[in-house]
Structure 1
Amino acid sequence: MFTHKQLPAGKIVFIGDSITASGRQKDRDELGFGYVRTIRDIYISEGKGAEVRILNRGVNGDRITDLADRWMKDVMEEKPDYLSISIGINDVWRQLDQPEEKQVTPNEFREIYKTLLAETTAGTNARIILMEPTVIEEDLHSEGNSRLIPYVHIIRELAEQYDALLIPVHQVFREFIEQFSEYQLTTDGVHMTSSGNMLLAKTWLEAAGRASQ
C-alpha cells in the first residue's frame, strides 16, 4: 500500500507512444485505458486524487523524432511539475516491421533525447522521470529485444546525466517474464494486457514513491 507522502503531488505530464496513449482519444477523461489511468486510479484510492492533475500526451506510433516535433506544445507550454517520458519501442520496432523507412539509430536517439531534456531543464522546473522501454516480444532473446538493449542503456545514461528519476521498466519486465512466463504482459509482443499495464503502473509508483521520500 502506498502512503500519501510517497506519491508526488502536482501536475504530471505523461508523454510517449501507444503504450502511454492506450486509447486516450476514445476516453472522455483523455487518460486512456492503460498504465496512466491505473496510476491515476491509485492516487484516487489513496485519497490523493485532488492533489494531482495527470495529462496523457501519448501518441500511437511515436518515435523520439515525433516527440521532438510536438515537444513545445505538449511539454514546454504545459510546464508540468513532473514529466514522465516513455519512448524507444517504435524506434526499434520500425526497424523490424518497416525497414524501408528512415530509421532512428542509437546515436540519433541519444542526441535528440539529450536536446529535449536540455530544453526541459532550461525552460521548466519539472522533475524529469525517464521510463525504460518495455519489451518487443516476450521472448527475451528475440531480435527486437536484442536491438532494444542500446536504447535502454542510453536512457539509463541520460537519467544519470540529467539527474532524472529512472523507472526500470525493461529490467522489471525481463525479470517477470523469466519468473512467470505463463502470464502474458502484452497482446502482440508490444501493447499491454491489463497485467502489463498494472506492472507498469506499479513499477512507476514504487520508483516515484522512493524518490519523493
Structure 2
Amino acid sequence: MNIALIGDSLTEGRPGIPFSRLLKEQFPGFRFDNLGKGGDTVLSLYARLSKKKLPSPYDLTFLWIGVNDVYTKMLNAQAQIPAKDEKEFEEVYKKCVEIILASSKQVVLVTPALIGEHADNQANKQLRALSSIILSTAENHPKLLCLDLHTIFKNHLAHTTSSDYISVKVTRIMADALFYRKPSRIEELSKKRGLHLTLDGVHLNSLGAQIAASEYAQLIETENKKTAL
C-alpha cells in the first residue's frame, strides 16, 4: 500500500516521538510518505496543498490537522496564521479534504488530540469543537473515514493523574526538538513535567506515539484487507 501521512509536527514527529516510525516498523512492505510540517494550521496546510500536488496517488491518506489552530494562539510567537473561528476552520478544512480526495482512494480524518493533559481545560474544549467539525465532514461520504484520537486520548487520561504543563514558549519547544531526540531522554523529561502521553502537553512521548500508531495501524490493516479482496 502507498500511504500518506499529512499534518503538522505531530505527524512530522518533532519534537517528541515520531509515531510514523512505529508504523514503518510494523508494515515494512508498505510505502509511507510523511508529509507532516511543524507549525501547520489548516490555513497553512491548505496553502501548501494548493501550491504543490501530492507526490503520488495513494491507497490511503491520513489527515491530522487542527491542534495549531488553537495552540498557536497560546504561544508567545506565531509562525503560521490560525483559522480565526470555527466557520473559517470548517471552510478551509473541507477544501483541504477535497484536494486530498483527488489523490487518494480513501482518506482518514483524524481529530486533534490534546493541548495539555487536563482534558477539560479551555484549549481542549476548543479542540472538541474542531473535532465535531471533522467528524461531521466524514459523515455519509464513501471515501472518508474518521479516527477520533481526541476522544481516545481523553479516555486514556481518565485513568491517570497528569500535571497541567503546556509549553507556550517557542524557544522551549525548539530546544525540546533539538536536545531531546532519544526516547529515553524524552521519557525522562515527560516524567519530570508530570505528563502521561506527551512531552510538553501537545507533542507525543513514547506512550502517546504507541497509541497513535496502534489506532492508525488498525485502519491500515482494515483497508489493506479490502484492497486484497
Assess same fold via TM > 0.5: yes
- Give the AA of the match of 1:38: L
For the structure 1 residues 88 and 159, does the alpha-carbon distance in structure 2 shift closer, same or farther, using more than 3 Å as the test?
same
Q: Tell me the residue number matched to 1:3.
A: none
- Find the partner of 2:159 among 179, 193, 196: 179
Partner amino acid for 2:138?
Answer: A
- Give the CA deviation at 1:41: 0.9
1:55 corresponds to:
33
Question: What is the DSSP-based 3-state SS (H/G/I as helix, E as strand, rest coil) of the residue aligned with 2:112?
Answer: coil
Q: Aligned-pair distance for 1:39? A: 1.0
- State the match for 1:88 in structure 2: 66
Gaps of 5+ in 1: 1-9, 25-31, 44-48
Distance in structure 1 (CA, Å) of the matches to 2:51 and 2:58: 12
Residue 142 (structure 1) aligned with residue 133 (structure 2): no
Which among 203, 207, 212 is matched to residue 219 of structure 2? 207
The structure-2 alpha-carbon separation of the partners of 1:168 and 1:69, relative to structure 1 and needing over 3 Å to count, comes to same
Which letter maps to 2:37?
V
CA deviation profile, 1:97-150 (whole Å, cap 9, x unmatched)? 2598854121111111111222333x3343101111111100012111011111
1:37-186 equivalent positions in 2, closer than 5 A? 37-43=21-27, 49-50=28-29, 52-72=30-50, 76-97=54-75, 103-104=82-83, 105-121=85-101, 123-163=102-142, 164-181=144-161, 184-186=196-198
TM-score (norm 1): 0.80
Q: How many residues align?
A: 190
Matched, 1:35 2:26: no
Structure 2: any 5+ residue segments left out of the alignment? 163-194
2:115 counterpart SS class: coil
RMSD: 2.4
CA–CA separation in structure 1 for the residues paired with 2:103 and 2:203: 31
